[in-house]
Amino acid sequence: MRLATIRTGGTTAAVRIDGDDAIELGVADVGELLTLESWRTMPGNGVRHAVAGLDYAPVIPRPGKVICVGLNYRSHILEMGRDLPAFPTLFTKFPAALIGAHDDVVLPAESTAMDWEGELTVVIGSRVRRATRPEALAAIAGYSVLNDVTARDWQYRTGQWLPGKTFEATTPFGPHLVTDVPGDLVLETLVDGEIVQQAKVADLLFGPAELIEYLSTIITLEPGDVIATGTPGGVGHARKPSRYLTDGTVLTTRITGLGECRNVCRTEKTHGS
């Protein structure tokens, strides 16, 4: 099953994708949908939209938590010159950073080092605390695509990464939440059509269930919470010379069977610019 949050008539609606149709499910977004016990079997309210040309909002527009994992692909850890960690490296992101699958990525005027980080994202479908491995797997509603676009010059100002990770309107998320995921997922990030990241999701050091076990030990995970599982090698900051996103760059992030985000990067217009 594929779910999405779309913009329509000045508001949003959760929809189920059924072939060429998107069927409204009677709630405002997928995050709200996941709070309902019957979310998997919601019949819809009869309103349909053509899939072609849908205006996608972030698939979970206002998650209670966006928990991100750094240094979680073996290839990326080695690329950055680090040792494999014993525990996940965690940081957070605020909902205002999230944008839809086809929205413009805003390049903040204060940064000159905006980088790409394509990621598999896990969305929680049921409340869980101190999960066992079977409980962690059962708590997964589905998976989506995210790009953790990062201001490297702000990320490394201090030892805390958050300032570079949550600039407003920088993080494509969607287009769909996919509940039935094929095996052998491959993640790719493209910059102006050039593949800059390509990795099997199996290269994750800490997989989705393991992350849920770990995170739910710290805090209760709720329906609609989002876990971004980390990025593989190929980021622009690690290249020699470094390479960053610029005004007009087309950023594409895709994962086998999950769909893709395609976003144009636009330099932010500030007062006086």
Q: Give the ranges where the chain is alpha helix by DSSP (H).
A: 30-33, 74-79, 133-138, 152-155, 162-165, 208-218
Residue type, 37: E
Q: Where in the chain is the domain with CATH 3.90.850.10?
A: 60-267
The list of the chain residues with pLDDT below 70 reads 271-273
* Class of the CATH domain delimited by 60-267: alpha beta
Pair 177, 142: CB distance under 8 Å: yes
CA-based angle 87:162:207, to the nearest 5? 30
CB atoms within 10 A of CB 248: 11
The predicted structure's pLDDT at residue 260 = 97
Give me the sign of the Cα torsion angle 127, 143, 16, 59: positive
Strand pairing report for 105-107 and 259-267? parallel
The predicted structure's pLDDT at residue 272 = 62
- Return the closest-CA partner of residue 131 out of 217, 72, 248, 64: 217
Strand pairing report for 140-147 and 89-92? unpaired
Task: Kindly list the distances between the CA atom of residue 4 and the CA atoms of 31, 48, 104, 129, 265, in Å, as whole numbers in the listed order.
Answer: 10, 13, 18, 26, 23
- The pTM for the full model equals 0.95
